[in-house]
């Protein structure tokens, strides 16, 4: 009686089965970890609520938020940000444009926005403001505060009003980067013509 050594080596051993199970478990764990990391730290989809960002973003439009970008760099003037204020009455995300940066002095007067005494030019098309709110007197932003405005300046609850006020860095969820329908980069929407 001959012994078949080839057939014996093809039989799975308990050790091989355990290794294969461990590899599959590690792969499933890695996929779950990366999915969690992407959703929690990198990107999120939300819808625009209200018309405070018209004509840049319309109500109910889907947008993608880059939640990772502000972990590696600071928010900049004119970034469109998504934020949620802890302890405030609203439970939804707000979407506004950064105008004032930490440490700056801001004043709105004669439909001009003054930063540290200098007029800054809006990069987007907006209507002249009717109500300057709290910004009709100089506002000094603290080291972690941002002053935000909606692009629909006469129909926006923003930093001009006590209900929103200045936004802290901890309030910021991320940068609004993509409008889904029609697809476009938000930084390219509603810009002033530089030739005018």
Best CA proximity match to 148, nearest among 118, 172, 117: 172
Of 9, 10, 15, 52, which is the active-site residue?
52
Annotated catalytic, 96? yes
- Asked if 52 is an active-site residue, the reply is yes
Cα–Cα distance between 35 and 62 in angstroms, integer? 21
DSSP string for 24-91: HHHHHHHHHHHHHHIIIIIEEEEE--SSTTTTTS-TT-EEEEESSHHHHS---TT-EEEE--TTSS--
Whether 158 and 150 have beta carbons less than 8 Å apart is answered as yes
Exactly one of 67, 96, 156, 175 is catalytic; which is it? 96
Q: Could you identify the residue written with the tokens 């700056």?
A: 104
Hey, which residues are catalytic here? 52, 96
């Amino acid at each position: 009686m001959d012994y078949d050594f080839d057939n014996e080596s093809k039989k799975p051993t308990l050790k091989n089965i355990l290794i294969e199970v461990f590899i599959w478990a590690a792969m499933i764990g890695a996929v779950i970890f990366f999915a969690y990391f992407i959703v929690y730290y990198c990107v999120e989809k939300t819808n625009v609520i209200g018309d405070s960002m018209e004509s840049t973003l319309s109500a109910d439009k889907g947008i993608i938020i880059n939640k990772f970008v502000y972990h590696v760099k600071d928010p900049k003037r004119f970034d469109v940000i998504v934020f949620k204020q802890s302890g405030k009455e609203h439970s939804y995300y707000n979407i506004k444009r950064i105008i004032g940066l930490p440490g700056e002095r801001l004043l709105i007067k004669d439909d001009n926005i003054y930063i540290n005494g200098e007029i800054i030019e809006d990069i987007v098309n907006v209507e002249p403001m009717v109500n300057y709110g709290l910004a009709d007197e100089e506002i000094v932003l603290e080291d972690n505060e941002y002053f935000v405005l909606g692009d629909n300046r006469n129909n926006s609850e923003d930093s001009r009003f006590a209900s929103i006020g200045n936004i802290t860095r901890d309030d910021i969820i991320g940068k609004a980067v993509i409008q889904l329908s029609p697809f476009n980069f938000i930084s390219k929407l509603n810009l002033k013509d530089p030739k005018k």
